[in-house]
Amino acid sequence: MTDAARPAADQQPASSAPPTNPATGEEAADPYHWLEDVTGEEALAWVRERNDETLAGLATGQRFEELRTQIREVLDSDDRIPYVARRGGLLYNFWQDAEHPRGLWRRTTLESYRTDHPEWDVLLDVDRLAADEGESWVWKGAPVLRPELRLALVELSRGGADATVVREFDLQTRTFVQDGFQLPEAKSFVGWIDADRIYVGTDFGPGSLTSSGYPRIVKEWRRGTPLAEAETVFESKPDDVLAYGGHDSTEGFERDFVRRRIEFYAGETYLRTGVDLERIDVPNDAEVDVQREWLMVVTRTPWTVDGTTYPAGALLAAPFEDFRAGKRALTVLFEPDEHTSLAGSVWTRHHLIVNTLSDVKSRLEVLTPPTPATGAQGVNPGWTRRPLSGVPEFGSVGQVGADPHDNDEFFLQTSGYTEPATLRYGTVDGDLEPVKQAPAMFDTEGLRVRQLFATSDDGTRIPYFVVGSERPAADAPTLLVGYGGFEIPNLPGYQAATGRAWLARGGTYVVANIRGGGEYGPRWHRAALRENRPRAYEDFAAVARDLVARGITEPSRLGTQGGSNGGLLMGVMLTRYPELFGAIVCQVPLLDMKRYHRLLAGASWMAEYGDPDDEGDWAFISKYSPYHNVRAGQPYPPTLFMTSTRDDRVHPGHARKMVARMRDLGYDVASYENIEGGHGAAADNEQLAFRNALAYEFLWRQLTKS
């Protein structure tokens, strides 16, 4: 950090106390509680002061401008792959570039898409709409009515928040439907039933939202009637996370489902049969999907059925109607082992493509179910499987654009840390054809990718990837990133901005696959839940130590960066393991773990972290809550906190209060709060490039002292 943003060692910085009276009552013990007032004048004045300090110290000079320009070129590149979702015979894409920073919703044909220069049919220009209406609209999606594919429910956010407005849109006339379905700004869900009915959950008034701020009431809303007259289909409990409804329009298998999410990892799925709801009898923590004849279940904990126990992380299948009738003949389509886990699956018309991870490297198989006649016997001897090749050794794979309604076509993307993404098109029984290739955005000559393993405090082997020069300079910095939560895996993939901003400048990039994530399925996640959360932090610290022990870096040259749950990880590294790092970037973080469940969507994460209001839970949460573990006189490394005023998922008060407390203790800390951006902290590519440039410039200065 520059001198402009660093308090002198012998000078106490200006106090962060508000200019008005402090809070009273339960919150009086927190002198920085006033910073939770998201748009309060005093809080925003404080934010602007911190922003000015940080920008004066970082966002200056030729190097920063070059860095921002290079990242912006990556984000706006016309050579990027326009990823598509298939609906009927057309491919839909949302595209942002320098000319269209808010984006274009558009579509084309498969034939045109396979050419070098597709002809795009623009459906909605979000930039023009934002200019016409004087709003900072950010695209959030648009469910399209099947099978006609004429009507859509466009969801738009002000400044990138999770809350959206909903407007019905006519894809033929390219206009919003006058007197069509519309919802004011709220955290809503919507889904088509038919041309005259939709499922809706929104803020219907007092008591209609859960304690997490999401809809708890599912209604069926008929065209031309007031929202207040919509028929209630289901009500979940106030302390649930949310409830929502959906319609499966597959011809011959039209069904309606209601899902109740009790907590983040547990819920109930109901089949709607007329006025009744029939619960699908699977464990609350299992994931459920129904595709044509088949019920698919992914277990999160062991499940014993008719004397057979299926392990956590298994993919199971059964004929849906047989299962409804009480039969429990389940076919194991995937079973995890110590090294392998399920990454996901996607249906084509007749096949299931299963993506698995073997020590965090992707493998694909094509599974074909038996015919309905065979399946109806309840034995299911006819499931067949074969591998799908073409995945790079240190790459990740994702299925993009498969449409289970019509055919067996699919798009397959592969990429690696040093291999730009390739999008391939094919059919399950045919060849894969490369149709789009992302450009190389940075020089990879001399770079190598290694997978190494560190040993955590309890003896568990923790995998991590190292990307960097085979002969790095002696003073080259290293950046370690991680997440470790919500069963989300941190997979290999091409990151052009990181390549330009870090690798191409001589830095080393490291990705840690710590517990709490999904790299090894539910067991890897559950190992760091609730009272076991410190294992994730011990894993990350073990990787940091291993990097030093192997001679890859030194603590003074090791930086770390993470956001959201990864921001909590950064907060713990700062307060518990400060000696391991030379600099930290903490983005859109959770930090005040005493109040996280009372702020915005925080209550929905109590299954992950625990309930701070419970004395037993607070006993283990308090030991790592970063906001409550800041102490004077500690060797904390320079830290940059970044958040967004419009983040309505993780409250910006977490970062604000942490910065205020650390400043008042005299620590080397800076912050930047983007007004727009939601949880992503950026509403368009310009803001995203600026935010990333700040982070990389901060890390490079601190770790290289240049």
564 given a catalytic annotation: yes
- What CA–CA distance (Å, rounded) separates 320 from 318? 6
Token output for 142:
């648009």
- What CA–CA distance (Å, rounded) separates 258 from 277? 8
- What CA–CA distance (Å, rounded) separates 367 from 364? 10
Residues 303-327 as b or e (16 or more Cβ within 10 Å = b): bebeeeebbbbbbbbbbbebbeeee
Quick: pLDDT tens for 258-284. 999 999 999 999 999 988 999 999 999
Quick: pLDDT tens for 311-354. 999 999 999 999 999 999 999 999 999 999 999 999 999 999 99
Q: Is the pLDDT of residue 14 over 80?
A: no
Which class is 41-73+446-704 in CATH? alpha beta
**Count of Cβ atoms closer than 10 Å to residue 53 Cβ:** 19
The answer to whether residues 216 and 234 touch, using CB atoms and an 8 Å cutoff, is no
For the four alpha carbons of 653, 656, 660 and 663, in that order, the dihedral sign comes to: positive
Q: How confident is the model at residue 22 (pLDDT cuts 50, 70, 90)?
A: very low
Q: Which residues are 509's β-sheet partners?
A: 467, 479
Token output for 161:
């928040």
pLDDT computed for residue 15 by the predictor: 44
- Closest C-alpha to 150, from 121, 174, 126, 129: 174
Quick: pLDDT tens for 191-239. 999 999 999 999 999 999 999 999 999 999 999 999 999 999 999 999 9
pLDDT computed for residue 21 by the predictor: 42
Residue tagged 């790092």 (tokens): 581
Active-site residue identified among 341, 564, 604, 644: 564
* Length reported for the chain: 706
The domain ranges of the chain are 41-73+446-704
pLDDT computed for residue 681 by the predictor: 65
pLDDT computed for residue 233 by the predictor: 98
- What does the H/E/C string look like for 386-440? EEECCCCCCEEEEEECCCCCCCCEEEEEEEECCCCCEEEEEECCCCEEEEEECCC
pLDDT computed for residue 397 by the predictor: 82
pTM: 0.91
Q: What mean pLDDT, rounded, does the chain reach?
A: 92
- What CA–CA distance (Å, rounded) separates 236 from 260? 6
Quick: pLDDT tens for 469-481. 988 888 899 999 9
| Antiparallel, parallel or unpaired: β 217-222 and 231-235 | antiparallel
